[in-house]
Amino acid sequence: MKTAIFLGGGASAAAMAPVQADLFREYFSLVRQRPEIINSEMYREVTAYFAAFFGIDVINSKLDDLLFPTFEEALGILDLAVRRREAFKKFDLENVSKNSNRIGFLRQYLVLLMAAVLDCKSGDRRRLHRKLVEGLGQKGLLAETSFITTNYDLLLDDAIVSEAACKIDYGIEFFNKKPLNNEVKNVLWVKLYKIHGSLNWLYCPACNVIRLTAKEKGVVRLLEDIKNSDCEQCKSVMLPVIVPPTFFKDMSNAFLSMVWYKAEQALMEVDKIIFCGYSFSDADIHIKYLIKRIQTNRLNPAALSIYVVNNYPTKSEHSRNSEKRRYKRFLGRVVNYTDLSFEEFAANPTCLY
């Protein structure tokens, strides 16, 4: 029986990765531990942005006393300004002045800020994902499992490659890697489709190629070593392939479109989808569209079973009921809303197989 495991932000949060609401506090806490960052252009611009837009003095205030906007709010208003071709006082789009496109730079800085926090968060965060992969591997179920995730971190990536004789099929070909050969003996290619991008992908808009920075977060290199982040072919500065959690998600990158296509093809073949740490937010219409396509376009829609794993000790009954209603309202009675947490599922993944 083919199965897809869909991991949302809650799965990474269970593994101690910061959630969206804590990203800015985590970043400025990190900066205070690394004084060299204070002299960077990125830090100056981000602090100026928070002061001008939200009245937040991150330099002289106690971080625990500050009420930060969510990442979605902070980046969303910049995204909307770009879409509307509008600007804010002292924060311009493209013009003829030498300080033009301040909004464009800020958007990139906020994405890199997020990457820095995900990279530096301490703790043994790979433990749960390794348990999940090891448990499936021991039962011989990895070959029948496709992983789909909205997370950019490398928790699941590292867990897969740590498993003996396993390699990752991201659904795209990287110009610095040999084309996939799924027929190679003694190698299991595990499908991992990262539909919002990844910290180890870098894209050259000049050559229209994508690079895999194996065993490192290449996006973080744009922060720490930008001189060595150029495209090997044309020497242009490469860009992160990350769709941030905002209201206006840009899926136009050709490689990301291919990932979505491969994810849809994989989902069309599965008999079961297990959602882990995903709340099925009303704003995620692009994901709802994907799921509804594979639910209605398959030969036998009734044969698809759906499980939800998103419980945690402090979750309120109101949150549980609201989430359960969102799933069932959109997907129907086929949804099996469980009491399992991601930790419990990772410890015994075969309980839903």
Mean pLDDT of 92-121: 77
| pLDDT score at 107 | 87
pLDDT score of 348 more than 70:
yes
Confidence (pLDDT) at 256: 95
Paired tokens of 140: 């011989």
Residue of 202 and 229 predicted with greater confidence:
202
Query: Predicted confidence band at 123 (pLDDT cuts at 50, 70, 90)?
Result: very low
Say whether domain 3-17+125-196+245-352 belongs to CATH 3.10.150.10.
no
Average pLDDT, the chain: 87
Question: What span, in angstroms and rounded, lies between the C-alpha atoms of 309 and 329?
Answer: 17
Asked whether the beta carbons of 283 and 315 are under 8 A apart, the reply is no
User: Is residue 340 over pLDDT 70?
Assistant: yes
Cα 239 from Cα 250, distance rounded (Å): 14
What is the arithmetic mean of pLDDT over 31-45?
79
What is the reported pLDDT for 26?
85
In Å, how far are 49, 82, 160 from 215, measured between CA atoms? 33, 34, 12
The domain ranges of the chain are: 3-17+125-196+245-352, 20-120, 199-242
Nearest Cα to 315, choosing from 350, 343, 291, 334?
Answer: 343
Sheet with 272-276: strands ordered across: 166-169, 188-194, 145-149, 3-7, 272-276, 305-309, 335-337
Cα-Cα-Cα-Cα torsion 237, 240, 246, 248, nearest 10 degrees, comes to 60
Higher-scoring residue by pLDDT: 215, 31 = 31
Higher pLDDT, residue 175 or 290: 290
Confidence of residue 9 (pLDDT cuts 50, 70, 90): confident
User: Looking at residues 43-70, what average pLDDT do you find?
Assistant: 92
Beta strands 209-212 and 188-194 are unpaired
Q: What is the pLDDT of residue 333?
A: 79
* Model confidence band, residue 76 (pLDDT cutoffs 50, 70, 90): confident
